[in-house]
């Protein structure tokens, strides 16, 4: 994976340059979508559409869907979809991190790899695959949903 697209690659208002670096045309919906995902990591599409409309009130649902698809394909966004949940998006890409998901409230939190190098986890038998990434989702209860007795 390309670490030049890691978590901090879009800080400081250089969203347009990130699009150019990915050989994408700079459009209002793409810039607004990147900004929305950066501001709302792990958000679903409906939440992102509302956020994009804060910048571009007349943007269509389809323009945001198309932007999410294009930005994901270009490696500027990462799409995750824990079992039983709608797709979520984040701008933290290229570092092979994982996620913690609360079974009760659905909150999603980033979890850095504990194993070091990428991929930080490998199967017992690779079946001949050249593995370059591992996607792990840890399920449980977040601190808020555990209740006061968990403290």
15 vs 21: CA distance, rounded Å: 10
Is 113 annotated to bind ligand?
A: no
| The two structure tokens encoding residue 5 | 């697209």
| The two structure tokens encoding residue 78 | 């990462």
| 3-state SS assignment for residue 127 | coil
Phi, psi (degrees; rounded to nearest 5) at 106: 85, 5
Is 142 annotated to bind ligand?
A: yes
Angle at 111 between CA 89 and CA 37, to 5 degrees: 20
Is 120 annotated to bind ligand?
A: no
135 vs 31: CA distance, rounded Å: 27
3-state DSSP helix/strand/coil % of the chain, to nearest 5: 40, 15, 45
Q: Which positions make up the binding site for Zn(2+)?
A: 102, 105, 142, 145
Binding site, by residue number, is 102, 105, 142, 145
């Amino acid at each position: 994976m390309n670490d030049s697209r890691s978590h901090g690659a879009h800080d400081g208002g250089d969203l347009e340059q990130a699009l150019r670096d990915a050989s994408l045309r700079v459009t209002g919906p793409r810039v607004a979508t990147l900004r929305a995902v950066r501001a709302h990591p792990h958000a679903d599409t409906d939440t992102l559409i509302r956020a994009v409309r804060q910048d571009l009130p007349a943007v269509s649902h389809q323009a945001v869907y198309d932007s999410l698809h294009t930005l994901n394909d270009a490696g500027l966004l990462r799409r995750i979809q824990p079992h039983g949940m709608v797709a979520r998006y984040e701008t933290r890409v290229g570092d092979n991190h994982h996620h913690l998901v609360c079974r009760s409230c659905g909150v999603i939190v980033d979890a850095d790899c504990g194993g070091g190098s990428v991929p930080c986890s490998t199967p017992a038998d690779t079946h001949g695959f050249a593995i370059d990434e591992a996607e792990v989702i840890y399920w449980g209860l977040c601190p808020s949903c555990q209740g006061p007795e968990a403290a």
